[in-house]
């Protein structure tokens, strides 16, 4: 069996609310050309918004915790490729989930960019001198903790040498973005929260299901790039 024929989806626990429903997921149109340079142009031209997920219906009146994640991309064998991690099963929160390297802003961090770099170095030993900051995609406020998450997109010159921190990372994944746009990989659901239906995104990889905040960010990145190319 080839990887293309392998079953998709993983053991990640999806905490569906009482009311939810599947919804039609429109097919992606992979932009041509689809390279890191294309993504960079799209992100530079994009003006990020601030979104709300889950039960969050407004931005907290107090700043709360701020977090940053590193959306690092390099041109790999199969086109633009991003780095994700699988969280260990022993973690108290979000065990086994797929995530970008990242975490909470520390008072010693000079900026959110430095937060993302520090967290990536701690989680996967990414040399902080390698990423080149491109820009940002949509920030969002989490529904559970009201934490403001800032996804920062960065370019890498090539596939980096990485080592997983066993306390924080079970597996490092190098995921070609074209794979996420392949028919049958992306799907969508609507979950009912606070009197309204909210769109949830899912990407079924071989052995893993990406959902929640990470899927939201991936969907945003792909949509930003797709729209930019088709508009230009």
Give the CATH number of the domain where residue 152 resides. 3.90.79.10
CB 202 within 8 Å of CB 13: no
Which residues in the chain belong to E strands, given as ranges? 20-23, 50-52, 66-76, 79-86, 98-99, 102-104, 132-136, 139-141, 148-155, 171-176, 186-193, 196-205, 208-211
Is residue 94 assigned to a domain? yes
Is residue 149 assigned to a domain? yes
Q: Is the pLDDT of residue 54 over 50?
A: no
Query: Quick one: residue 212, left, alpha or beta (phi over 0 = left, psi -120 to 50 = alpha)?
Result: left
Enclosing H/E stretch for 42: helix 36-45
- pTM value is 0.92
Mean pLDDT of 34-54: 88
CA contacts within 13 A on the Cβ side of 47: 0
| pLDDT tens digits, 219-228 | 999 999 999 9
Is residue 50 assigned to a domain? yes
Number of structural domains the chain divides into: 1
| pLDDT tens digits, 67-99 | 999 999 999 999 999 999 999 877 666 678 999
Is residue 181 assigned to a domain? no
Is residue 74 assigned to a domain? yes
Residue range(s) defining the domain that contains residue 44: 30-176
| pLDDT tens digits, 119-178 | 999 999 999 999 999 999 999 887 655 678 999 999 999 999 999 999 999 999 999 999
Is residue 76 assigned to a domain? yes
């Amino acid at each position: 069996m080839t990887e293309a024929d392998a079953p998709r989806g993983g053991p990640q626990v999806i905490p569906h609310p009482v009311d939810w429903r599947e919804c039609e997921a429109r097919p992606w149109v992979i932009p041509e050309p689809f390279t890191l340079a294309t993504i960079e142009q799209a992100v530079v031209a994009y003006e990020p918004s601030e979104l709300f997920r889950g039960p969050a219906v407004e931005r907290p009146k107090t700043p709360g915790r701020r977090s940053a994640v590193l959306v690092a991309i390099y041109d790999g064998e199969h086109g633009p490729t991003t780095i994700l991690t699988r969280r260990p099963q022993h973690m108290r929160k979000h065990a086994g989930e797929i995530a970008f390297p990242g975490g909470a802003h520390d008072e010693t961090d000079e900026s959110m960019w430095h937060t993302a770099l520090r967290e990536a170095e701690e989680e996967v030993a990414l040399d902080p001198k390698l990423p080149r900051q491109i820009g940002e995609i949509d920030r969002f406020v989490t529904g559970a903790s009201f934490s403001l998450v800032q996804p920062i997109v960065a370019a890498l010159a090539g596939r980096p040498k990485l080592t997983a921190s066993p306390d924080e990372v079970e597996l490092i994944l190098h995921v070609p973005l074209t794979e996420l746009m392949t028919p049958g990989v992306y799907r969508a659901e609507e979950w009912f929260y606070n009197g309204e239906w909210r769109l949830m995104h899912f990407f079924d990889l071989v052995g893993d299901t990406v959902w929640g905040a990470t899927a939201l960010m991936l969907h945003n990145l792909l949509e930003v790039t797709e729209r930019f190319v088709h508009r230009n």
